[in-house]
């Protein structure tokens, strides 16, 4: 089982702050990395699937980068809004399966 | 499209009872999977299927059975419920022919909250 780690475990920022969190994963036999946003009482929704070293993807105020050689990915949120409050999950592809990290819980207060 | 649907939303079982959690998708996805979510543990893969008639075990398969007789449906059976199976269960599906489903974004169902007393 691949060990996917996310940090920090939780984060509390003020509206308008920019923030970022980290997903670390084993760099050997890399196939792809997923990012999901999971709001309370809902189900996870896909943000990005990243495959190439150096890749950067963006969706609105959220962006992600990938370093497969050193085994990490960063998720950035620019100008956080209360509606960004959620748990952000990353998952590494391991063959036919996905191994999820435990997530970073983000709270954005007005 | 309804996407991924799961029934029931909530269920309470007594130890030793059996039940089936239903999962269906209407997106013609080949890849389907079941996860359980426990506090402090994150999502853990129970079983997955890369297509009709093909299933395999994930990280935590003990106590669960699956089958995939159609592309649309992927039920999860609890054979003899135990308190350790108290959890929230999520079904997910994605594109991906020839077993490549894990490389595509997963579409999750709304979840089933199961309590075993």
Please report the pLDDT score of residue A4 as a whole number.
95
Is a pLDDT exceeding 80 seen at residue B1?
A: no
User: Residue A30 phi/psi, 5° resolution?
Assistant: -80, 135
Q: How far is CA A29 from CA A52, A54, B50, B70, in A?
A: 13, 16, 21, 32
Q: Give dist(CA A38, CA A60) in Å, integer.
A: 17
Q: Which residue has the tokens 């959220």?
A: A62
Both tokens of A35, joined, read: 């990012």
The predicted-structure confidence for A59-83, as pLDDT tens digits, reads as follows 999 999 999 999 999 999 999 999 9
Beta-carbon separation of B43 and A51 below 8 A: no
Residue of B nearest to A46 (CA): B105
Min Cα separation B4/chain A (Å): 11
Q: Which of A93, A94, A101 is closest, CB to CB, to B42? A: A101
B82-108 mean pLDDT: 88
Please report the pLDDT score of residue A28 as a whole number.
86
Both tokens of A94, joined, read: 């391991």
Beta-carbon separation of B102 and A98 below 8 A: yes
Q: How far is CA A96 from CA A15, B8, B49, in A?
A: 39, 27, 9
How far apart, in Å, do the first and last CA atoms of chain B sit? 36
The predicted-structure confidence for B35-54, as pLDDT tens digits, reads as follows 999 988 889 999 999 999 99
A3-8 mean pLDDT: 95
Residue A89 with chain B: CB contacts under 8 Å: 42-43
B62 Cβ neighbours under 8 A, 6+ residues apart: none
B107 touches chain A (CB under 8 A): yes
Task: Give me the percent of chain A exceeding a pLDDT of 90.
Answer: 87
Are the beta carbons of A31 and A14 closer than 8 angstroms?
no
Task: Give me the percent of chain B exceeding a pLDDT of 70.
Answer: 97
Residue A46 with chain B: CB contacts under 8 Å: 105-107
Is a pLDDT exceeding 80 seen at residue B100?
A: no
- At A1, the pLDDT band (50, 70, 90 cuts) reads low
């Amino acid at each position: 089982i691949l060990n996917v780690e996310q940090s920090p475990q939780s984060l509390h920022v003020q509206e308008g702050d920019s923030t970022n969190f980290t997903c670390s994963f084993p760099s050997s036999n890399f196939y792809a990395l997923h990012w999901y946003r999971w709001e309370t009482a809902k189900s996870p929704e896909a943000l990005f699937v990243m495959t190439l070293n150096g890749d950067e993807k963006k969706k609105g105020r959220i962006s992600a980068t990938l370093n497969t050689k050193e085994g990490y990915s960063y998720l950035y949120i620019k100008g956080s809004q209360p509606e960004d409050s959620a748990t952000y999950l990353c998952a590494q592809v391991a063959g036919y399966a996905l191994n999820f990290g435990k997530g970073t819980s983000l709270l954005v207060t007005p | 499209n309804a996407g991924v649907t799961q029934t029931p939303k909530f269920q309470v079982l007594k130890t030793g009872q059996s039940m089936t959690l239903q999962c269906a998708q209407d997106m013609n996805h080949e890849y389907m999977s079941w996860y359980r979510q426990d506090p402090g543990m994150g999502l853990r893969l129970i079983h997955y299927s890369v297509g009709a008639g093909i299933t395999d075990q994930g990280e935590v398969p003990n106590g669960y059975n699956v089958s995939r007789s159609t592309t649309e449906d992927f039920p999860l059976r609890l054979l003899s419920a135990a308190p350790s199976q108290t959890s929230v269960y999520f079904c997910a599906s994605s594109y991906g022919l020839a077993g490549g489903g894990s490389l595509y974004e997963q579409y999750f169902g709304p979840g089933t909250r199961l309590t075993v007393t």
